[in-house]
Structures are given as C-alpha cells and as structure tokens.
Amino acid sequence: MPDIVTFADENLYREKASEIAKRHEKLIKSILPAALIYHIGSTAVPGSLTKGDVDLQVRVSQRDFPEAKEALARHYKINEGSFQSSCFCAFEKEDELLPLGVQLTVISSEVDHFWKLTAFLQTHPEFNEQYNALKQSAEGLDMDEYRNRKARFIEEILDSDPYRRFSFRLEGKEVEPINPVKRQKERLSFPKASTRKEKSEMIEVISRRLLDRFGKDITAVGVYGSVGQESEGPFSDIEIHVVTKEGKTIQEYEFIYGGFKIELSTAQETELLEKACRVDDSWPIRAGAYVHVKPLYDPDGFFDELQKTVQNIKYEEVKTVMREFMIWEPYETMGKIRNNYASGNHRYLPLAAKDLAYQTAKLIGLANRRYYRTRARMFEDSLSFPSRPEGYERLLELLLEGQLHPSHKVYDRCENLWTGLNIWFEELGIDYQEDQLPF
C-alpha cells in the first residue's frame, strides 16, 4: 500500500519538536564536541506546513566524517533508504515522540545546504509560502510523488538569485566570485592568501619556537578562531592561546610575519579560566575562543577544563547582564532611531539598523547561553538558536540582502523588533525599568 503524505501547521508540533531538537543537539554535542548542529526543516521554520518530523543537520570536517559517522551510528539507525556518500549520511530514530532524522554532512560539500536553506526560508516568507502551496497541492498523494515535486522545488530555490545572494553572504563570500589572483594584481597584495597546509606549517614553527624558549613555563598551547575550527578562509589570521603556569608570564604578540597575521594570546591558568567564566555582553562572541581550541600541546588536558568552565555559566548572571545591556545599548539605539527618523535624517537608519541587529544577536546568544563560532558567523548562527525575539528575522532579512531602504521600511522593521524585544524580555522574566529612583 502506498505511503500517503499529509501535512499540518508546524505550530501544532512546535513545543515537542523544539524539545526533541534540543535534547538530541545536547546528546550529539556530547559525543561530537567539534560538530556544528542545526535544527533544520519545516519544524524549524515558523508558519510552515509539516509532516510532523524533526530533522537535525550535523556538520563536520572531511577529516572527522568517518569517525563522526561511526559515533552517530551507535545512537541512531542509518537510513538505508537514503542516499549515502563520502560526505553525507542520513540517520533516523523512530522511537521518539516525533520521527527524527539526523543528516551528517561534510562542511562546504555539495550537500551542505540544509542549514542555509532553513535560514533562507526563515527570512524569506514569500518562498516559504510557495513551499506551503506545494505541500497543500501534494496532500493525499503518494510519498514518492511528493518527494519528486519537493526535489524540483528545492532545486529551483537553490538555483535562484535571492538564495544565491543569501548563501554567499552567509558564507562571507562575494556575490559575484572574483579571481583573487587577478584582484591582487589590481590592488595591494596583502593581506595574503594561504592554504590550510601553509597555515599548519607556520603554526608548527610557532609552536616549536614557543616550547623551545618557554617550555618549562607553559601549561598548554592551542589554536582557536576559524583556523582552530577548520573553517578558515584563505585570508584568515592565526590565533593561538599560550597558557602559562601560575606565576609565569609571557609577553603577548600580535604581528605580521611571512604574509600571516598572527596573534599570540597569553595568560596564566587561573587568569584564562576566570576570563572564560566571565559573563558580559560580548560573551556569545568571545566564548567560542575558549571552547573551540585545537590543542598543539596540552599534556594535562587544560583545554578540556577550559571548555567545561565556559559551558557552566549561571543563567541568573546571564539575566543580569541582559538587563544591563538592554539599558546601555538597544534602548539608547532605539531612541536615536526615533530621533533621526522624526528629524528627517534618514541616512542614519541603515547604520542604526545594523547596530540594533548586532545588539539583538548578542542578547540572543546570552538568552540561549550559546556562543557564536565567529563574529562573521554571528547572524547565521543566531537564526538557529531557539529563543529569539519577534521581528529579528525580518530586520535581518533586509540586512543580509543589503536592502536597507526605503527608510520607512527600515524604520518599521526596527520598531517591530523593538516591540518584539520587550515582549521577549517579559517572557524571559527580565524587567529593566525602575518603579522608583534607584538612589
């Protein structure tokens, strides 16, 4: 008997889907700490029609793919009916509250688009409406027929100019790819491009030099940032933690050498642990530097301890920081937006909209107690975090598309986000306004 497809509004499944996604994200993160995990598919896109299943994407490097596949296979069943390759493997878990699928992909491979497609549908409701219309037309059809229609529709989206522009911006690329060699001939030749192998060779030189000169004083050495996460670009800099024993200090350095921008961040053990557990408005941006560290020398497992320290921040501390930051930045920014819109200085609105989005992304990271891979990936990552204020995606849509005009549209999106921020704060139990003078 053919498998018939039916759909329902995602809000009917939202609570269960979110709970399942969070639980399995936590499980997968515990067995694959370096993996990037996203809740994808229709249950991650508000306003969607869905079959009622939950999907996660797990992104790893090509080098880590075989080990990740084996690790996931110990907890999930490989979906034998799905396409498998050296950069993709699908898993399933049928004994959940809702059917669960886990898609393991290699970062930057040809199948590594699920997270981008989900973010695109979250921020482009007109395309999600088209997708819903396709689902409505497929109601009651054979599952294979629906999958064929879905595949054609997804292919059209992936080939569309709006998605292409969106995808390039998420990845920090030029919309129109430019030959870097040609560009360097026309402009200054630095910063200089380098391969992963070239960066690794330079890192090895630095590591050996540090240990030869300061070995008796060093507890651990590790690479952080995009290079530490193996997600770097050709122009990425090299950032290295140098952890010293108590009472021992090594000078910090930030310099250009051999075409590389290199930063040596030095700190004593307790000093770095204190930095890692300190909660402020920049915590979601800087915490990744303490979690995603690729050890070069770490005989006593210091970086494991550092990672645990970051992950154990207290929610009450987070709420205090959010309250203070709301007063310092978003509240003041919104006042400037209203002032300049009322006075006719509309040229300020694009800059203010960027400021408001950036400030909101910080608050989203804090509220979810999750950190961003890098600042460049902040907006992209924030769309995958479950707790977000209403209006954020709509303002981000203009920002990521580079469409911060006309001024009345930008102003309306800012006002909508400001309303959403305050409702969100009420839901989180954060009151930032005083009933009486505080002194």
Digit-by-digit pLDDT tens for the chain (439 residues) are: 567 889 999 999 999 999 999 999 999 999 999 999 999 999 999 999 999 999 999 999 999 999 999 999 999 999 988 888 888 999 999 888 999 999 999 998 888 999 999 999 999 999 999 999 999 988 888 888 888 888 889 988 988 888 988 888 877 665 555 445 444 445 787 888 899 999 999 999 999 999 999 999 999 999 999 999 888 889 999 999 999 999 999 999 999 998 899 999 999 999 999 999 899 999 999 999 999 999 999 999 999 999 999 888 899 999 999 999 999 999 999 999 999 999 989 889 999 999 999 999 999 999 999 999 888 889 999 999 999 999 999 999 988 888 888 889 999 999 999 999 999 999 999 999 999 998 9
Q: Which domains, from first to last, does the chain contain?
A: 8-170 (3.30.460.10), 196-311 (3.30.460.10), 315-428 (1.20.120.330)
**pLDDT at 178 (0 to 100):** 45
User: What is the rounded CA–CA span in Å between residue 165 and residue 363?
Assistant: 27
Q: Determine if the peptide bond prior to 191 is cis (ω within 30°).
A: yes
Element (H, E) at 92: strand 88-93
The residue whose two tokens read 């203010």 is: 352
pLDDT digits (tens, 9 = 90+) for 228-249: 988 888 999 999 999 999 999 9
Question: The pTM is what?
Answer: 0.57
Single out the residue of 72, 107, 117 nearest to residue 90, CA to CA: 72
Residue partners of 22: CB distance under 8 A and separation at least 6: 386
Element (H, E) at 203: helix 196-214
pLDDT digits (tens, 9 = 90+) for 129-163: 999 999 998 888 888 888 888 888 998 898 888 89
**pLDDT at 186 (0 to 100):** 56
> Which of the 8 DSSP states describes residue 50?
E
Beta bridge partners of 56: 39, 102
**pLDDT at 185 (0 to 100):** 47
Q: Where are the beta strands (DSSP E) in 298-338?
A: none
